[in-house]
Every structure is written in structure tokens, then in C-alpha cells.
Amino acid sequence: MTEQTLTGILDTVWQHILRGTADRHHPARHPTLATIGPDGPEARTLVLRAASRSDGALDLFTDAASPKAAQIIADPRVALHIWLPKAQLQIRARAIATLAPGDPALFARLPPGAQANYSGAIPGAPITGTSDRQVGDASRFSLIRCHLSLIDALLLADPHQRAIYRASDDWQGGWVAP
């Protein structure tokens, strides 16, 4: 594999992230979101819904009643991770997350099964068995917007290349030891 430039790697990162918002089979569709929980870090898979390179922001949906929502309110520092096997590219990011009500019109367009994800017992709470599907509660439909502060890209080329980009220096980026 040929060596990439700093700009080239960042362009590749954003191409994959943007594809993840549109292509349900692309691995960037399912980033891992890590939050700071009361007992330490917590990580889980979410669906990437939207992304803006110009704003340095990634959007995810979640249930306002879920523990991650409370964790973000308590401490908005989050991390994201994406592994792209075909591109041999690991994307790690740090962000400040905000939690806001989701768009009610968007919720109304979700199929009932997807709406039902926003209902019932708090995710992670003990239950006696598989719960019946419930009617979704639009007030629990929430948007997590991750305002990226840092992107760390590791390309498993030969030789490996790793670069860190910071919003604070306008995403210029710099090489670091892989």
C-alpha cells in the first residue's frame, strides 16, 4: 500500500464516516460509543445516523431513558471507535456529546417495531422474561450529537501510519508513532 498524506488520511476517514450514514452494510454504520459511567467506562454499538465534516459532528439516536443518556448528561466526554477491515483503517475519536429531543416528525415515520425501542422498561433493568412489544414513546426519542474534538486514524499499511487531528488546530493533523 502506498503511503498517504495527512490530508489524504483525513479525507479517507470522512469518506468512510459519510458512507456509514447512507449504507447500512458499511462498517462505519455501527460505531462503538464509549461513555463515562458511574462504575467506569461503558461501550456499546449504535447506528450512525448523520455526519457533518464541516461541523465536525456525528449524530446518533437513543432512548432518553437509557443509562448512556444519563451518563452523557453527567459527563459529556465520549469516545467513538470504528474499524474498517477492508480499508485496514481504525478510526478513534473524542467528542463532547449533547443530548436533545429527537425530531418528532422523524419518529412518526419510524416503523412500529423501531418506535417500540423507545418504550417500556429502562434498558438494562431486570425483567421477568421477553417483554411484549409496546407502543413507542416519542418523548424518549433522543438525538446524541457528538462534537468531535480529536480524530486518531491508524492505517495498517506497510509501514503502519497513524495521525492525530484536533479541532483546536483546525484538523491540520500530525503524525504519531503507530
Ligand X SMILES: Cc1cc2nc3c(=O)[nH]c(=O)nc-3n(C[C@H](O)[C@H](O)[C@H](O)COP(=O)(O)O)c2cc1C
Please tell me whether residue 92 binds ligand X under the rule CB under 6 A: no
Maximum pairwise Cα distance, the chain = 55
Of residues 104 and 178, the one with the C-beta less far from ligand X: 104
**Which cell is 122 given?**
429502562
The reply on whether position 107 binds ligand X by CB under 6 A is: no
| Contact call for residue 131 and ligand X (CB under 6 A) | no
Q: Residues 6 or more apart from 107 whose CB is under 8 A from it?
A: 115, 118, 136, 138, 141
Contact pick of 8, 12, 30, 162 for ligand X (by CB under 6 A):
30
Quote the CA–CA distance of 31 and 34 in Å, as a whole number.
10
Binding flag, residue 8, ligand X (CB under 6 A): no
Q: Is 68 in the site for ligand X (CB under 6 A)?
A: yes
Q: Where are the alpha helices (DSSP H) in 6-161?
A: 6-22, 67-74, 104-109, 112-115
Interface with ligand X by CB under 6 A: which range of 44-52, 107-115, 145-153, 163-171?
Answer: 44-52
Q: Which residue stretch of 13-21, 61-69, 98-106, 149-157 sits at the interface with ligand X (rule: CB under 6 A)?
A: 61-69
Residue 127 is classified by DSSP as -
Q: Please, what is the minimum distance in Å from the beta carbon of residue 84 to ligand X?
A: 16
* Cα–Cα dist 115/137, whole Å: 7
Q: How far is CA 2 from CA 137, 152, 178, in A?
A: 51, 19, 16
Residue with smaller CB distance to ligand X, 18 or 47: 47
- Identity of the residue, 12 or 98, whose beta carbon is nearer to ligand X in the bound complex: 98
Binding site for ligand X (CB under 6 A): 30, 42, 44-47, 60-63, 66-68, 123-124
